[in-house]
Every structure is written in C-alpha cells, then in structure tokens.
Amino acid sequence: MSVRRIRESEEMYLETILLLHRERANVRAVDVCEQLDFVKSSVSRGVHLLQKKGYIEIDPATGNITFTEAGRRKAEGVYERHLVIKQVLLRLGAGEETAETDACRIEHVISDDLLGVFKRYLSKEEA
C-alpha cells in the first residue's frame, strides 16, 4: 500500500472517530465499521495501527476508543481541512453533495500552502 493511501486511510479513521465522539460518549471499532460500512477486520487493523502510532487508546475491558492529545490534534486538523475545502467548493458554486464528496477526497492531499490560500479566500469573502 502506498504511503499516500496509508495516510488517507489513517486520516479517514481519525476523522470518523472524531465525528462519532461528537455524537456519543463511547465509540468502539464496531461504530467505525457501521459509519464507514467497512468490514470488521479492516477497521480492527486500522484502529490498532492508530493505537500503535499513539493517536488513540482502546480500553481493553470495553473496547472504547479515546484520543491521545496528538490523535485529537491530528483528527481536528483533518476535519478542519475538510470544512475549509467544502466551504470553498460551496462558495464556488458546487452543490452540497459534490462539495461534501470532493472535500473528503481533497482533504488528504491538499498542501498546507493551498489550504492557507483557501482560508484567506474564505476570510476575504466574509469581510
């Protein structure tokens, strides 16, 4: 698997866990499976890799997933990229569904420089 695909997968899991935590107090791998419509073995492997990297902790008794400080920062960064990109696409005239779908793709490959350009664009539009 390429480094880019690993990063995309990692970021997708982190973002999903973040959003699930906004809906409920306890998040388990099965919740991630349901949200992403992935098989349990794939999600199990993915969350254990996140744990190994120090982004999440998994309670052995309950299976509840919690973020480490580094994991929360990374997840929030991914979600911020998503929101910024989606807002730019909407302002440029994209439909809601297209903006959402394409933001999910672009968020994993956008450079920090271009993200900064997008943020400046949004702030000028709001002024």
Q: Would you place residue 88 in the very low, low, confident or very high pLDDT band (cuts 50, 70, 90)?
A: very high
- Higher per-residue confidence, 1 vs 106: 106
CATH class, domain 73-126, is mainly alpha
Between CA 74 and CA 92 the distance in angstroms is: 27
Condensed to tens digits (0 to 9), the pLDDT of residues 10-20 reads 999 999 999 99
Q: Considering the domain 3-68, what is its CATH architecture?
A: Orthogonal Bundle (1.10)
Give 15-82 as a DSSP string: HHHHHHHHH-S---HHHHHHHHT--HHHHHHHHHHHHHTTSEEE-TTT--EEE-HHHHHHHHHHHHHH
Tens of pLDDT along 39-59? 999 999 999 999 999 999 999
Q: pLDDT tens digits, residue range 93-113?
A: 999 999 999 999 999 899 999
pTM: 0.89
Average pLDDT over residues 64-76: 97
**In the chain, domain spans:** 3-68, 73-126
